[in-house]
C-alpha cells in the first residue's frame, strides 16, 4: 500500500519526486494522455466502481446514483475532455509583435510548474481529488495527494487506486490527520491546490507564501439563490430542492440561502414541501436516497447553527428533525431569521435552507453585496432585465440562470471563486494553465536595435519620436 504519513517518508517522497520532475516535464502529449487514460480505465471497471460505491456509502451513506454521477461521472468527463485537447494545449502559442519590435517573433511555451500538492476535502472525496490530478498530469507535474481523514474508506480506496496506477515518484497518496497536511504545506512544493473552507485556505496560503509557492484555493461561501417575481415555481423549486439536498447539502456550489420575492413565498413553501416528499418520502430518514452528514463534528456544527437561529426567533417551515447517532438532519426550511443569525453569515454546508424575502431587486442585491463574494450565484427568473441587472451588480465565481449545480459539470467553463470564495481557476484548459508556467519567449529573426543604441545623436531622437507616433 502506497499511503504514508511519517515525516521521514514524506521527505523521501518529496525528494524522489523532485528528482523525477524533469523527466515528467519532458513527457509528450501521448504519454500524458496515456496516464490520464489509466484513471478512466480504472473507474469504468465494474468491480472498482462497486467498491467505490460501497466506500462512500460506508463513509456517509451516499446513494449509488449520486456517487456515479458526481464522483465517477464528473471525473470521467474531465479526463476525456483533457485527453482530447491536450496536444493543442501543450503547443506553443504565437503572439502579435508590435512595430517597435519588428524583426522579432514572440510566443508562449507551456511548461509544468513542477511538484504539485493536492489537498482534497471530504464532501466529494474522489471528484475533488481526481479532477485536479487530471489537470496536474496534463501539465506534466508530479503530485502528492492528501485526501481527507474524515472519509476514511474512500481515502483508502484512493490510495489503493493510485498505487496501482502510478509509481510513487510520479503520484503519491499520503494519508493522515491535519498535522500531515501542515507538514506537507511546509515543504517547498511549486504549486498547492487546496479545496476546503476559507478559514483553512488562509492557513494554506500563509504556508505557501513561506516558499513562494503558487496556490489554487477552491473555497466556498454563501451562494445565494434569487427567486424573483417572474420565476416559474413549477419548474425551479424542484431544481432548488435537488441541488440543496444532493449529497445532503454538503456541496460547495449548493444554494446556501434563498432570496425570494415576497409575492412568491407562500407558493414556494408549498412546492418545496411537495418536492421533498416526492424525492425522499414522508420521512426522509427512511429513504435510501438521502445521504447523511459526513462527521459527528459537522453534524454538531449544523445543529448549533439551527439552534442559534431558533433562539433568535426563526421559524422552521418544514423539517428540523435530527438524530446525532445516525448523523441525520432532515431537509429543513427556515424563515424569519434575525439579521445576526449565524445561518445568514456562515456557510451552511448541509440540508438547512434559510429563506429571506425581499420587496424589490435592489434590496436583494444589497443583501448579497453585504457579504463576501460567493462561489456561485443562482438566479431563478424569466426576466432578462432582472437577470442582467443581478449579474451586472454582483460578483461571483460563477452563475447559473434557472438551473443549479450543472455549471460545475462543464469542463469548458472556468471554475473558482472570488477572494473569500477562492483564488485561481480550474477545469479543462484553465486547470492545465493553473499547473503550468506560461513561459514567454522572444526570438530575433532579422534587423536589430542599433538605431536606439547609444550614443543618441539628433537623428536617433527623431527616429524614436517618429516610432512613438506609430505605436
Task: Kindly list the catalytic residues.
Answer: 218, 252
Burial track 392-402 (b if 16+ CB lie within 10 A, e otherwise): eebebbbbbee
CA distances from 282 to 238, 275, 331, 354 (A): 16, 11, 11, 21
Bridge partners for 356 per DSSP: 259
C-alpha cell at 385: 432585465
Using DSSP, state whether 116 is helix, strand or coil.
strand
Residues 6 or more apart from 31 whose CB is under 8 A from it? Answer: none
Q: 47: how many CB neighbours lie within 10 A of its CB?
A: 7
C-alpha cell at 322: 435530527
Residues 6 or more apart from 467 whose CB is under 8 A from it? Answer: 99, 100
Residues 6 or more apart from 220 whose CB is under 8 A from it? Answer: 197, 198, 252, 347, 349, 375, 417, 421, 422
Note whether 143 and 171 are within 8 A (CB).
yes
Counting every residue written for the chain, the total comes to 471
| Cα distance between residue 457 and residue 240, in whole Å | 72
Note whether 170 and 142 are within 8 A (CB).
yes
Amino acid at each position: 500500500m502506497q499511503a504514508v504519513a511519517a515525516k521521514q517518508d514524506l521527505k523521501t517522497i518529496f525528494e524522489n519526486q523532485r528528482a523525477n520532475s524533469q523527466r515528467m516535464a519532458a513527457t509528450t502529449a501521448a504519454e500524458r494522455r496515456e496516464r490520464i487514460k489509466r484513471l478512466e480505465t480504472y473507474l469504468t471497471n465494474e468491480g472498482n466502481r462497486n467498491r467505490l460505491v460501497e466506500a462512500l456509502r460506508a463513509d456517509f451513506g451516499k446513494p449509488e446514483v449520486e456517487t456515479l454521477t458526481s464522483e465517477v461521472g464528473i471525473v470521467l468527463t474531465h479526463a476525456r475532455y483533457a485527453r482530447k485537447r491536450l496536444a493543442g494545449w501543450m503547443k506553443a502559442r504565437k503572439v502579435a509583435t508590435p512595430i517597435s519590435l519588428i524583426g522579432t517573433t514572440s510566443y508562449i511555451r507551456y511548461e509544468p510548474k513542477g511538484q504539485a500538492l493536492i489537498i482534497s476535502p471530504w464532501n466529494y472525496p474522489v471528484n475533488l481529488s481526481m479532477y485536479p490530478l487530471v489537470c496536474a498530469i496534463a501539465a506534466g507535474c508530479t503530485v502528492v495527494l492528501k485526501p481527507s481523514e474524515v472519509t476514511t474508506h474512500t481515502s483508502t480506496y484512493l490510495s489503493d487506486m493510485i498505487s496501482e496506477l502510478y509509481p510513487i515518484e510520479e503520484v503519491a497518496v499520503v494519508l493522515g490527520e491535519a498535522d500531515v497536511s501542515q507538514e506537507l504545506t511546509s515543504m517547498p512544493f511549486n504549486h498547492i491546490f487546496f479545496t476546503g473552507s476559507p478559514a483553512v485556505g488562509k492557513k494554506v496560503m500563509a504556508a505557501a507564501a513561506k516558499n513562494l509557492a503558487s496556490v489554487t484555493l477552491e473555497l466556498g461561501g454563501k451562494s445565494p439563490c434569487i427567486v424573483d417575481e417572474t420565476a416559474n415555481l413549477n419548474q425551479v423549486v424542484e431544481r432548488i430542492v435537488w441541488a440543496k439536498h444532493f449529497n445532503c447539502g454538503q456541496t460547495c456550489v449548493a444554494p446556501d440561502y434563498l432570496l425570494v420575492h415576497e409575492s412568491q413565498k407562500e407558493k414556494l413553501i408549498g412546492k418545496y414541501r411537495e418536492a421533498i416528499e416526492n424525492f425522499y418520502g414522508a420521512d426522509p430518514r427512511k429513504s435510501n436516497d438521502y445521504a447523511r452528514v459526513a462527521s459527528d463534528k459537522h453534524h454538531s456544527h449544523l445543529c448549533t447553527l439551527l439552534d442559534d437561529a431558533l433562539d433568535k426567533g426563526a421559524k422552521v417551515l418544514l423539517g428540523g428533525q435530527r438524530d446525532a447517532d445516525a448523523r441525520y438532519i432532515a431537509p429543513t426550511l427556515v424563515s424569519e431569521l434575525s439579521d445576526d443569525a449565524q445561518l445568514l453569515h456562515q456557510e451552511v454546508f448541509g440540508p438547512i435552507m434559510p429563506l429571506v424575502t425581499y420587496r424589490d431587486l435592489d434590496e436583494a442585491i444589497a443583501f448579497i453585496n453585504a457579504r463576501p463574494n460567493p462561489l456561485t450565484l443562482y438566479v431563478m427568473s424569466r426576466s432578462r432585465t432582472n437577470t442582467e441587472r443581478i449579474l451586472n451588480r454582483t460578483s461571483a465565481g460563477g452563475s447559473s440562470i434557472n438551473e443549479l449545480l450543472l455549471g460545475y459539470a462543464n469542463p469548458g467553463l472556468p471554475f473558482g471563486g472570488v477572494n473569500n470564495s477562492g483564488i485561481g481557476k480550474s477545469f479543462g484548459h484553465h486547470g492545465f494553465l493553473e499547473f503550468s508556467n506560461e513561459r514567454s519567449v522572444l526570438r530575433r529573426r532579422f534587423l536589430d536595435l542599433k538605431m536606439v543604441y547609444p550614443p543618441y545623436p539628433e537623428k536617433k531622437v527623431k527616429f524614436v519620436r517618429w516610432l512613438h507616433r506609430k505605436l
